Amino acid sequence: MDKNVLIATALHEHARIYLLNSRQVVEEARKYHDLWPTSCAALGRTLSVTALMGLMQKDENETVTVTINGNGPIGTILCVAQNNGEVKGFCGDKHIYQKYADTHKLAVGPAVGKEGYLKVSKNLKMKQSYTSQVALKSGEIGDDFAYYFAESEQVPTIVSVGVLVDTDDSVKSAGALIIELLPNHVESDVTYLENLDLRPISSVFAEDPDLKRYLYSLFPDALVLEEREVFYHCGCSKERFLRNLLTLPKKDLEEISADEKIEIKCEFCEKIYRFDEKDIKAVLKYASDKR
Ligand SMILES: [Zn+2]
């Protein structure tokens, strides 16, 4: 398996660094959802940071869910990551392609909008253990996450995230860098970070995708603590959707059963599951046996 994440410490152990080359993860998302470039960049940025937040959790069963809605045309972006490296997500409008007139860069901010929120929920074994929300700053995603870390988790953090889409709409490069200042940091660490020359990470990886070379170019004293892998994984199944049906009130189930056939599309991988009368009767029977 390809290790696409470095977790490191630097600045005399005053900083923690998470660095991800997310090209494959974002390309998988693009293929599942048929994402157009601006939708791809917005969802890809959110997936990349969420994936790293998944790795930050201490418990391996902890799940991080990030929801962004800025009242822009893309609608809601929702991403879920786990400590084992799994990440998945979707966005409302998958077919947005708009650029800034001056720079010709993908116009993520206007697509996401900034009249809204970024919400983070952490769940441990189906139980919500934490939820926190901040107002969006720009809708460009990176700034919004940096603001979230500073406000909600009280950790001064730099977030650099980007997706470069190729002329054939495939993902040319993508990555995320999160630099956290630890509580023992001193003023000179802040100055060091202020003077860091952070080029767009997708341009850096388009030229040279090597994680360690980029890490050491920013922090010559960096020490790699862990190499990890994050990957797009949905994990849905017919059984899982049937189990979800069981959580519906019996009245709803009977109504569904009257329709005889239902289709449920998985939002994370777009797979369509079909349930016939037999499936629904089995669910109804199971539900009434249990109640
Ligand atoms: Zn799925």
Strands (E), the chain: 5-10, 15-21, 62-69, 76-82, 86-91, 117-124, 127-135, 157-165, 171-181, 223-228, 231-232, 262-265, 272-275
Q: Which domain holds residue 274?
A: 238-290
Residue 50 Cα to ligand 1 midpoint, Å, equals 18
Output the domain CATH number for residue 151: 3.55.30.10
Residue 229 Cα to ligand 1 midpoint, Å, equals 20
d(CA 2, CA 148): 30
Whether residues 260 and 147 fall in one domain: no
Residue 207 Cα to ligand 1 midpoint, Å, equals 33
Determine the pLDDT at residue 108. 98
Whether residues 168 and 224 fall in one domain: yes
Whether residues 26 and 133 fall in one domain: yes
Residue 58 Cα to ligand 1 midpoint, Å, equals 26
Residue 177 Cα to ligand 1 midpoint, Å, equals 27
pLDDT tens over the chain, length 291 residues: 579 999 999 999 999 999 999 999 999 999 999 999 999 999 999 999 999 999 999 888 899 999 999 999 999 999 999 999 999 999 999 999 999 999 999 999 999 999 999 999 999 877 777 899 999 999 999 999 999 999 998 999 999 999 999 999 999 999 999 999 999 999 999 999 999 989 999 999 999 999 999 999 999 999 999 999 999 999 999 888 888 877 877 777 777 767 667 888 999 999 999 888 788 777 777 777 765
Q: Which of 232, 247, 279 is the last residue of a domain?
A: 232
Residue 230 Cα to ligand 1 midpoint, Å, equals 17
Residue 30 Cα to ligand 1 midpoint, Å, equals 14
Residue 266 Cα to ligand 1 midpoint, Å, equals 5
Whether residues 211 and 249 fall in one domain: no
Residue 146 Cα to ligand 1 midpoint, Å, equals 29
Residue 253 Cα to ligand 1 midpoint, Å, equals 22
Whether residues 135 and 187 fall in one domain: yes
Output the domain CATH number for residue 282: 3.90.1280.10
Whether residues 244 and 121 fall in one domain: no
Residue 224 Cα to ligand 1 midpoint, Å, equals 34
Question: How many domains in the chain?
Answer: 2
Determine the pLDDT at residue 128. 76
Determine the pLDDT at residue 80. 97
d(CA 90, CA 138): 20
Residue 88 Cα to ligand 1 midpoint, Å, equals 9
Whether residues 146 and 123 fall in one domain: yes
Angle at 153 between CA 155 and CA 147, to 5 degrees: 75
Whether residues 228 and 249 fall in one domain: no
Q: Which of 196, 215, 232 is the last residue of a domain?
A: 232
Residue 150 Cα to ligand 1 midpoint, Å, equals 33
Residue 114 Cα to ligand 1 midpoint, Å, equals 29
Residue 235 Cα to ligand 1 midpoint, Å, equals 6
Whether residues 78 and 131 fall in one domain: yes
Q: Which of 184, 213, 232 is the last residue of a domain?
A: 232
Residue 269 Cα to ligand 1 midpoint, Å, equals 4
Residue 10 Cα to ligand 1 midpoint, Å, equals 38
Whether residues 93 and 139 fall in one domain: yes
Whether residues 203 and 245 fall in one domain: no
Residue 60 Cα to ligand 1 midpoint, Å, equals 21
d(CA 264, CA 205): 38
Residue 18 Cα to ligand 1 midpoint, Å, equals 27
- Structure tokens, 6: 């470095």
Whether residues 176 and 271 fall in one domain: no
- Of 225, 229, 163, 220, nearest to 20 by C-alpha is 229
